Amino acid sequence: MAGSSHTIGSFRFYFADQRWEWSEEVARLHGYPPDTMHPTTELLLSHKHPEDRDTVASTLAAAVRDGTAFCSRHRIIDTAGIEHHVLVVGDRLYDDTGATVGTTGYYIDLDVSLNEYRQQVLSETLPGLVDARAGIEQAKGALMLVYGISADQAFGVLQWRSQETNTKLRVLAGKLANALSTLGGGPLQQRTRFDHLLLTVHEHPSH
């Protein structure tokens, strides 16, 4: 879809063989042709801004050690030397037995404007979107609060999750809004639970 190709992309990381899988969007965000990309942890960290690299490495190490959801807002530098501000959200990746075998999630390029993308999505989903506006606005507000992103970026995250999970936008937003009351504990616990919720809420029953 126009306006979204370089905005949000997915990744997977397998603990056993330290293997990364990047979507085309994430590869391009780092400056690589997607068909030739075989990312490694060393390569991934080499693209982090020097001031952010140690923090990202620690976040990744904790995710591997504890098998928990995580979120990191930092800067990367692509192959052309261009700096990008990104938000990376990850959650546990399970095998068929339910065992945690890695982490999966997505990148958001926070430097890309989603205004045009948002307007196209709105035109494609009206009028049903109007009836679900309250749930969508609540879900957007939660994303903005938790991740410190703009309204347009929050809308882009919802739309991307809608496409990735083959769930209607208004249904996904409604489920997320309904599930917000289940987040308890301190700020860190709430953020970790929200990371997990965002990546799994499409599996929740509809109310």
Q: Does position 89 have pLDDT exceeding 80, yes or no?
A: yes
* Residue 126, pLDDT score: 47
* CATH number of the 8-109 domain: 3.30.450.20
Q: What is the pLDDT of residue 29?
A: 92
Confidence category of residue 2, pLDDT binned at 50, 70, 90: very low
Instruction: Map out the domains of the chain as residue ranges.
Output: 8-109, 115-203
- Give the pLDDT confidence of 47-69 residue by residue, as tens digits: 999 999 999 999 888 887 887 77
Distance CA 51, CA 29 (A): 19
Mean pLDDT value across the chain: 82
- CA atoms within 13 Å, Cβ hemisphere of 39: 24
- Reported as type and span, the H/E element at residue 73 is strand 70-77
Q: Is the pLDDT of residue 96 over 60?
A: yes
Higher pLDDT, 46 or 38: 46
- Alpha helix locations (H) across the chain? 24-29, 41-46, 53-66, 115-125, 128-131, 133-147, 151-165, 169-179, 187-200
Q: How far is Cα 133 from Cα 130, in angstroms, rounded to an integer?
A: 5
pLDDT classification of 3: cutoffs 50, 70, 90: very low
d(CA 121, CA 129): 10
Contact in structure between 81 and 69 (CB atoms under 8 Å): no
- Least confident stretch, 116-120, 151-155, 157-161, 203-207: 116-120
Give the pLDDT band (50/70/90) at residue 188. Answer: low
- Kindly state the percentage of the chain with pLDDT values over 90: 27
CA end-to-end distance (rounded Å), the chain: 30
Q: Which two tokens stand for residue 145?
A: 């609060």
CB 140 within 8 A of CB 154: yes
**Residue 48 carries which DSSP code?**
B
> pLDDT digits over 141-185, tens only?
999 988 888 888 888 889 888 888 899 888 898 899 888 877 765
Assigned token pair, 135: 């749930």
In three state form, how does the secondary structure of 141-198 look? HHHHHHHCCCHHHHHHHHHHHHHHHCCCHHHHHHHHHHHHHHCCCCHHHHHHHHHHHH
